[in-house]
Structure 1
Amino acid sequence: MASAKGLQSLIPQKRTEVKKSTKKEKAGKNRENIYLIDVEDIQPNPNQPRREFDQDALHELAASIAEHGVLLPIVARKIQKSTEKGSQVQFEIIAGERRWRAAKIAKLPRVPVIVRETRDERHNLVLSLIENVQRENLNAIERAVAFKRLLEEFELIHEEIAARVGKSREFVTNTLRLLGLPSVMQESISRGSISEGHARAILSLNTEKAQRILFSKIQKEKLSVRGAEEVARIFKARIRRAPVREGGSERGALEDQIKAKLGVRVRILKNGKRGSLSISFSDKEELDRILKILLS
C-alpha cells in the first residue's frame, strides 16, 4: 500500500495555492492534477446528500488515515469567500466530506484535493449530487433523496439520472420508490435497522396496513430478506384468496346500472384499494353481444 509520504512527494505543498504538479502527467488529457490543501481552507458542501456520519466508522477511518494518509483525493471547487480581512480563497467539497472529517480527526494539516472547475451554480449542484452518489457510501434513503433532487430540481428523467450515475433505469426507479414508505421505515433504512432488500419486500404490499405489519415482523422476528419476501408472498396470497365484495347500496346501484346496460348478471369485487368486475355470460353469442356493447 502506498504511504502518505509517497503520495505527498508527487504533490505540491504550498498552502491553498493551485499549482501544477512538478511530475509530468503522461496518461493523457483526461488526467486531473492533485493538490495538497490545508484542511482549514476546505468547507463542506451544503448540498451534500449524506446527512449522517457514523462516528465509530469515522474514527476508524481517521486511524487508517493517520497511518497511511488520504489515499483517495477529495474533489472540491474553488470559491471566493468574504472575510473581515477581505476576499479569501476557499475550497468547497464536491465529494469526500467523510474523508475530510476523518482527516481533521487525525489532525492532518493538509489533504490531497482534485480541484474541479464548474460552469455555474446549477452545474455545481448536479455535479455534487452525482459525484456523491457515484463515489460515497450513501445509504439507500440518502441516495433516493439525491435522485429526487435531480428529478425535481433539475428535471432529469430516470434514464438520464441512470446514465449519469452509471446505474440502470430500474435501479433509479426502485430507489425512488423507497421515498413512498412511511417515515418510520425510511428512518430504519437510514439507520441500517432494515436493509434495502427488506424495503423492497415491504413495497411489494399494496396497503400501508400490510406494510406496517410486515415491517413489525421484520424487526421483532429479525427476518432475513428472504424471510421477509416469503411473508410478503403469503400476505398477497391470502388477499387474493379472500376478495371482499363492496357492500352497501352504492355497490348494488353500480351493479344494477351495469346489468341494465349489458343485460347480464355482474358482480363487483374489492381487494384492498384494487378490485375487479365480474361479468357472466351463457354462451359465445352472448359474449359477442356484450363485447359489441362495451367496444361500441
Structure 2
Amino acid sequence: MSRPVELGSPMEELLSTLDLETLEENLFRGRSPQVGRQRVFGGQVIGQALIAASRTVAEDRFVHSLHAYFIRPGDPAVPIIYDVDRIRDGAGFTTRRVMAIQHGKPIYFMTASFHGDEPGFDHAVPMPDVLAPEQVLQDGEERRRFLASAPKAIREYWERPRPIELRPIELARDPGLAGSAASRNVWMRATGPVPDDRHLQAAVLGYLSDLTLLDTALFTHGTSVFDRSLQVASLDHAMWFHRPCRLDDWLLFVQDSPSASGARGMTRGSLFTRQGLLVASVAQEGLIRKKATEQI
C-alpha cells in the first residue's frame, strides 16, 4: 500500500505522491497533494503513470520513451486510478499503455516503451554555453527588484516552496516581453534527495519535464501562462529518455517553440546535466486560447 500524501519537505511530498497504492494486478491508485490547486498538475500525472507502468515490467528494463495525451483536467480532491494494459513483452522491448481515470472517465492516457541496457552508437548535441546556476536567480538585488515589481501571481509562483527549484537564465523575461525570442534556458534541481532507483528517477524527470514549457510559446507574444485572459493547458506530451541520470545536481532545460497557430503552441525541450550530457528530450503541444470577453 502506498504512503499517504503527508506534510513534509516538498520533495518528500512528491515522492509520497509518486508512491502509488496497488489495488489489483495492473491497477493502481494515486492521490494528489492538497495545495489549493484547481486541477492536477500534468507533470504529476506523467510521473504517476510512469510509476504504474514500471511496476508491471521486468526490473532490468527502463523507460526510453512515452507518448501521452491530456484528455480532461484532473480533480485534485479525489484519487486517480491508473489501469495498465500489458501490450507486449518482447525479447528486447516492453510496451505498456496506461489509462488514468477519475469520476468514471479517462483524464489521461500514455503509451510507454521500456528497454534493457545494451551497447550501441553514441552521440548527442552539445549543451549551449549559458550562465552556471550559481550565477542566476540569486537572492540579490536583481531578484528582489524583479519580484517587487512582478504581478502577484508571478511573485507567488516564484516564492512558493516546491520539489523542483527553478532558475531561469533571464528571470525578467517571465512576465513576457513582446518580440522576445521563443526560447529559454532554465536550470532545475530537486530540492531534496531522490532515491537511487532508475524507475523513480525517470518519474521525477517526467514530473519536471512539464514545468515552464508552455510559457516558451508565449514569450514572443508578450504574455505568459499567468495571463488571466488566456486559457492555457497541456494537450499532449512526448518524452525520450536517452541516458540514466542521477538527480543530485542541476539540470539545464533548453526550450524553444517552433510554432504557434490555431490556439495551440508547440514546444520542444532538451535536458542536460551540468556536465553537458543530454539525458532526455521533450515535445509538447498546448492550448493557448484567448478567453471570450463580453462586448460592451
TM-score (norm 2): 0.21
Q: Considering only CA atoms, is the larger Rg found in Structure 1 or Structure 2?
A: 1
Larger RCO, structures 1/2 (Cα 8 Å, 6+ apart): 2
Higher strand share: 2
